[in-house]
Amino acid sequence: MKIIVDAFGGDNAPLEIIKGCIEAKKELGVDIMLTGDRDKIEKCAKDNSLDISPFAIKQADTVFEMTTPPTEILKSKRGTSLGVGLDALASGEGDAFVSAGSTGALLVGGTLIVKRIKGVKRPALGAVMPTSADPFILVDTGANVECTPDMLCQFAKLGSLYMEKIMGIASPRVALANIGTEETKGTPMLVETYKKLNVLNGINFTGNIEVRDIAFGEADVVVADGFTGNVIIKMYEGVAKSITNQIKAIFMKNLLSKLSYLGIKSGMDEFKEKMNYKKYGGAPLIGVRKPVIKAHGSSDAYALKNAIGQAIKYIDSGFIDIVSQLMKDGENND
């Protein structure tokens, strides 16, 4: 099994990416091919005394900048570490592609270079997130700003399959993100989606979920259009960070408060580990023909290693074959 990794994606590239690959090789025993400028990768490794001899490197002279329009990945920016990685995946030089680079470029390139599974309307970004109980997947977290009810029904199926096959949850509870639990709540698009989900075979639809209940783990799959999903994930991130920062500041206030921290340190460490979304890896681009994983832009070595681990699980689960078969069987909600 070989994972292709964009060595120049994200805020901490290439150093943290290389480190993450070394950890993944060691812990997970996987082959890795880095894409990017060979000289820069080798210099970075040398400067930091890192052994990259086990890795293949596929040359890419440039990097896809965050400010570049995503569609350029198909044109002027095909030769970037991101474009070269997508092409290598599409042509079978590896089994999955992991990048912490531009989400937009990965979406466009994933959809049009790696291509959609036949029958999938629009690929979606999923993100597995922690809660005070068990984790859930949110689909879509931002790939499709505007959606139709049929798209949301596919997201529901794909998200449910993901939780079942990759996260090992039997009969995942699928809920539609909404502003009330009653089936009449929300926009006309959501009211229509509710009706369709309610009669959709093959998923365990539990109805609308008030977004206030998401952080308590009341659903295994939360379905949303990409705009709403992005608001949910970013509010989650922002509020969690704001609250924990404020509490951290309380502990740092004086000697007594610092001492107090010692009495709950083990509990706080467990809490931090529980809520650390980095352990789940990145956001899979669900619905394309080969595994494409978007790692968080701020990925460190730990996050990147976990994104590689997630890619391995994705491959091992046979998820893509299962989705392809499902689409072939005409069970998709057309």
Rounded CA separation 26/30 (Å): 8
| Paired sense of beta strands 136-139 and 124-129, if any | antiparallel
Binding string, 219-238, against its own copies, x = CB under 8 A? Answer: --------xx-xxx-xxxxx
Contact between 187 and its own copies per CB under 8 A: yes
In angstroms, the Cα distances linking 65 to 77, 90, 163, 193, 277 are 9, 22, 33, 37, 25
Contact between 248 and its own copies per CB under 8 A: no
Report cis status (omega within 30 of 0) of the bond before 14: yes
Q: Which of 70, 251, 297, 331 binds its own copies (CB under 8 A)?
A: 251
Nearer to its own copies, 103 or 333 (CB): 103
Radius of gyration of the chain (CA): 20
Contact between 128 and its own copies per CB under 8 A: no
Strands (E), the chain: 2-6, 31-36, 56-59, 96-99, 124-129, 136-139, 173-178, 204-210, 221-223, 283-286, 292-294
Contact between 66 and its own copies per CB under 8 A: no
Nearer to its own copies, 44 or 215 (CB): 215
Rounded CA separation 267/185 (Å): 39
Nearer to its own copies, 14 or 142 (CB): 142
- Closest contact distance (angstroms) between CB of 279 and its own copies is 16
Contact between 213 and its own copies per CB under 8 A: yes
In angstroms, the Cα distances linking 76 to 10, 37, 73, 79, 294 are 20, 17, 7, 8, 21
How many C-beta atoms surround the C-beta of residue 186 within 10 A?
Answer: 19
Q: Which of residues 159-178 bind its own copies (CB under 8 A)?
A: 177
SS (H, E, C) 178-243: ECCCCCCCCCHHHHHHHHHHHCCCCCEEEEEEEHHHHHHCCCCEEECCHHHHHHHHHHHHHHHHHH
Contact between 18 and its own copies per CB under 8 A: no
Stretch that binds its own copies, among 14-22, 52-60, 72-80, 247-255 (CB under 8 A): 247-255
Contact between 273 and its own copies per CB under 8 A: no
First-to-last CA distance in the chain?
35
Stretch that binds its own copies, among 53-61, 112-120, 265-273, 317-325 (CB under 8 A): 265-273
Q: Which of 132, 171, 198, 325 binds its own copies (CB under 8 A)?
A: 132
Nearer to its own copies, 54 or 238 (CB): 238
Contact between 247 and its own copies per CB under 8 A: yes
Q: Which of 56, 74, 275, 320 binds its own copies (CB under 8 A)?
A: 275
Residue with tokens 């990965």: 106
Contact between 298 and its own copies per CB under 8 A: no
- Closest contact distance (angstroms) between CB of 262 and its own copies is 7
Contact between 215 and its own copies per CB under 8 A: yes
**Residues near its own copies, by CB under 8 A:** 131-132, 142, 145-146, 177, 179, 186-188, 210-216, 227-228, 230-232, 234-247, 250-251, 253, 256-257, 259-264, 267-268, 270-271, 274-275
